Structure 1
């Protein structure tokens, strides 16, 4: 176990923690977007138009896409982290869970479905 391997292990661990924080910050952004949308929806005397739903759908889809990309980065970083962890004596790093077993995977799917629904509804409102 060399100093270089230990340094790589530390950097990969820091990267994992950073990406994990980013992933959950995207969930916080989702809450902020939902709060703003609820406020706009509630305070609009004439209701909201199709453009509002299009914007909301795009926001949801963007959040879902970013969460998916961050999750992919965590998985790839986790593979390298596990290999370097084994080299420095840390063999307790679990393998990344399958997407179907991950809460963030399902959250991403739900957000994407909601975004697609908002887009479709917004387009129908604009045509309508």
Structure 2
């Protein structure tokens, strides 16, 4: 167990925590976007046009893409964290390689699907 191994482990763990916070901040951003869209539609005296649905859909797609990229980086960092942990005797770090089993993967799929549906609905209202 060298100082270098401990430093690598510490940095990889900090990176893991950073990715984890980013991933859940994207969910908070999604809630803010949907809430803002709800406030706009409620405050409007006329029915909102398809533009609002398209904008919400684009925001959902962007958020889903960012969530996917963050989760991908998190899985890559997890491999290095597991190796560094094994050198230090920490064998209890869970393997994140199978992302399909994770809640965040399915949340990303749902957000992306909602974005696609929102865009299609918004475009359909533009072209009746």
TM-score surpassing 0.5? Answer: yes
Give 1:76 deviation, angstroms: 0.4
Do residues 67 (structure 1) and 67 (structure 2) align? Answer: yes
Aligned length in residues: 128
1:124 aligns to what?
A: 124
2:6 aligns to what?
A: 6
Structure 2 segments unaligned to the other structure (5+ residues): none
Give 1:120 deviation, angstroms: 0.6
Do residues 28 (structure 1) and 24 (structure 2) align? Answer: no
In structure 2, C-alpha distance between the alignment counterparts of 1:73 and 1:36, rounded to whole Å: 29
In structure 2, C-alpha distance between the alignment counterparts of 1:106 and 1:94, rounded to whole Å: 19
| Range moving further from structure 2, 117-126 or 96-105 | 96-105
Provide the secondary structure at the position in 1 that maps to 2:94.
coil
1:108 aligns to what?
A: 108
Q: How large is the Cα RMSD of the aligned pairs?
A: 1.0
Alignment TM-score, normalising by the size of structure 2: 0.96
Give matches, 1:83-102, under 5 Å. Answer: 83-96=83-96, 98-102=98-102
Give 1:126 deviation, angstroms: 1.7
Structure 1 segments unaligned to the other structure (5+ residues): none
Give 1:2 deviation, angstroms: 1.3
In structure 1, C-alpha distance between the alignment counterparts of 2:98 and 2:45, rounded to whole Å: 46
Give 1:63 deviation, angstroms: 0.5
2:56 aligns to what?
A: 56
Provide the secondary structure at the position in 1 that maps to 2:90.
coil
Give 1:97 deviation, angstroms: 5.6
